[in-house]
Amino acid sequence: MRRPARLALVSAAALASLSVLVATGATAAASATPAVPVLPSATPHLMKALTSLRPTENRLPLLGGAPVGLPLQYGGGPVELTNTNYAIFWEPSGHASSSSYKTLITRWFGDVGGSALFGTTTQYYQGSGATKQSIQNVSAFGGSYVDADPYPSGGITDAALQAEVKKVVALQGWPCGVGNEYFVYSGPGGEVVSSYCAYHSYVTINGNPTPYADEPYGGQSGCTTPTSPNGDPAADSAINTTSHEQWETITDPLTGNGWVALDGDEGSDQCNFQFGSADAGGADVHLNGHPYIVQQEWSNALAPFGCTMG
pLDDT of residue 125 exceeding 90? yes
The mean pLDDT of the chain is 85
Domain range annotation of the chain:
4-58+77-308
Give the confidence band of 52 by pLDDT, cuts at 50, 70, 90: low
pLDDT of residue 256: 92
pLDDT of residue 70: 83
pLDDT at 10 over 50: no
Please classify residue 150 by burial: count the beta carbons closer than 10 Å to its beta carbon, then call 0-12 exposed, 13-18 middle and 19+ buried: exposed
Nearest of 187, 119, 132 to residue 156 by alpha carbon: 187
Q: Is residue 294 pLDDT above 80, yes or no?
A: yes
Which whole number is the average pLDDT over 37-57? 57
Which of 25-34, 79-88, 108-117, 271-280 has the least mean pLDDT? 25-34
Going by pLDDT thresholds of 50, 70 and 90, the confidence category of residue 173 is very high
pLDDT score recorded for residue 24: 46
Alpha helices in the chain (DSSP H): 12-15, 101-111, 116-119, 158-172, 233-251
The rounded percent of the chain whose pLDDT value lies above 70 is 79
User: Mean of the pLDDT values across residues 139-150?
Assistant: 98
Looking at residue 68, its pLDDT comes to 56
The conformational region for residue 97 under phi > 0 = left, psi -120 to 50 = alpha, else beta, is beta
- pTM of the predicted model, to two decimals? 0.85
Rounded Cα distance between 68 and 210, Å, is 31
The predicted structure's pLDDT at residue 43: 66
The pLDDT of residue 280: 98
**pLDDT at position 287:** 98
Please check the confidence at residue 281 and state whether its pLDDT lies above 90: yes
- The candidate with the shortest Cα–Cα distance to 166, out of 208, 134, 122, 221, is 208
In this predicted model, what pLDDT tens digit does every residue of 183-194 receive, in sequence order? 999 999 999 998
pLDDT tens-place string over residues 224-238: 999 999 999 999 999
Helix (H, G, I), strand (E, B) or coil at 12: helix
CB neighbours (10 Å) of residue 84?
Answer: 23
